[in-house]
A and B are shown apart, each in its own frame.
Chain A
Amino acid sequence: MTTMTDAVTTQMYRVYIKATPEAVWTAITDPEWTQKYGYGGRGEYDLRPGGAYVGYTSPQMREHGAPDIAIDGEVIESDPPHKLVQTWRMLMDEDMAAEGFTRLTYEIVEISGATRLTITHELEGAPQLAELLSGGWEDRGAGGGWAWVLSSLKTLLETGEGFTH
């Protein structure tokens, strides 16, 4: 049941990508692919309910003194290549880590030869993480959040080139 509070704290992002749903699914769930776009870290999933998710920092972040793990969470639902629901907690900043687990849903739908990817991130009780994910920290070098990640994912799948970090 979604309440008014959920609506206010939930963020939605959508992008159309000229690629198959399978390719988009792989780009999200395969660590060899996750390191090619966005924040550039390996993302490892145990794709079954209760399975672990670990988002590692990129080698470049570690050069700057970052810890090994950026994000942790747990798979709630995995329906390849259509839907992935998981918990998601940012560990790179103490205050954001203290905000606890949030709920993230990826939905992948094929629409007239393209693939529509929708991200719904439920961020109740996580205002600092919400600001980071909406790109509010970009000018401090923290990346542009989900919009930036999806933009680079689209570029990677359509042109074969990821972003250079």
Chain B
Amino acid sequence: MTDDDLVFKALADPTRRFLLDRLFVRDGRTLTELESELEMTRFGVMKHLRVLEDAGLVVCRRSGREKLHFLNPVPIRLIHDRWIDKYTERQVSALADLKNELEKTG
């Protein structure tokens, strides 16, 4: 399976999308926190998190005894940049435009 296949497979499941949504709202959660919001066994949630990790959509970090789960948007970004930006080429003048925008509205 290619990296993209892993991402699409991981996203093709409502529980896994729910987990990503929870991490989007608040990042760096433990398994216990994530599990508490799902009607599912701890083992079941672990399996889903494992699929998300394998696809690179979740990255873990140890903090003392805790394992914290973070949403990693890069794999989706890679798909976006390759498949979508190709068709919507546009100028990104980065922070300079942000500054101008703020000065206009500020």
The answer to whether the Cβ of B48 comes within 8 Å of any Cβ in the partner chain is no
The answer to whether the Cβ of A58 comes within 8 Å of any Cβ in the partner chain is yes
Task: Give Cα A85 to B93, complex, Å.
Answer: 28
Inside 8 A of A6's CB, which chain B residues have their CB?
A: 28, 63
Instruction: Let me know if B61 and A120 touch, CB within 8 A.
Output: yes
Inside 8 A of B77's CB, which chain A residues have their CB?
A: 135, 144, 147-148, 150-151
* A137 to B, closest residue via Cβ: B98
Instruction: Let me know if A165 and B92 touch, CB within 8 A.
Output: yes
- From B26, B56, B70, give the contact of A11 (CB < 8 A): B70
B49 to chain A, nearest CB (A): 14
Instruction: Let me know if A57 and B92 touch, CB within 8 A.
Output: no
Inside 8 A of B59's CB, which chain A residues have their CB?
A: 12-14, 118
Inside 8 A of B21's CB, which chain A residues have their CB?
A: none
Binding site for A on B (CB under 8 A): 3, 26-29, 56, 59, 61, 63-64, 68, 70, 72-74, 76-78, 80-81, 91-102
Instruction: Let me know if B74 and A64 touch, CB within 8 A.
Output: no
Instruction: Let me know if A93 and B102 touch, CB within 8 A.
Output: yes
Most buried by A among B3, B59, B73, B102: B73
Instruction: Let me know if B93 and A7 touch, CB within 8 A.
Output: no
B27 to chain A, nearest CB (A): 6
Interface of A, secondary structure class, is mixed
Instruction: Let me know if A39 and B95 touch, CB within 8 A.
Output: yes
Inside 8 A of B92's CB, which chain A residues have their CB?
A: 138, 141, 143-144, 163, 165
Instruction: Let me know if B81 and A66 touch, CB within 8 A.
Output: no
8 contacts between A and B (CB under 8 A): A12-B70, A12-B72, A64-B97, A118-B59, A138-B92, A148-B81, A165-B92, A165-B93
- From A7, A40, A60, A65, give the contact of B99 (CB < 8 A): A65
Contacts A7-B28, A165-B94 given: A66-B99 contact, CB under 8 Å? yes
Instruction: Let me know if A64 and B28 touch, CB within 8 A.
Output: no
* B91 to A, closest residue via Cβ: A165
B1 to chain A, nearest CB (A): 14
Q: Mark A50-70, 1 if CB is under 8 A from B, else 0.
A: 000000011011111110001
Task: Give Cα A10 to B69, complex, Å.
Answer: 11
A66 to chain B, nearest CB (A): 4
Task: Give Cα A109 to B73, complex, Å.
Answer: 19
Instruction: Let me know if A14 and B56 touch, CB within 8 A.
Output: yes
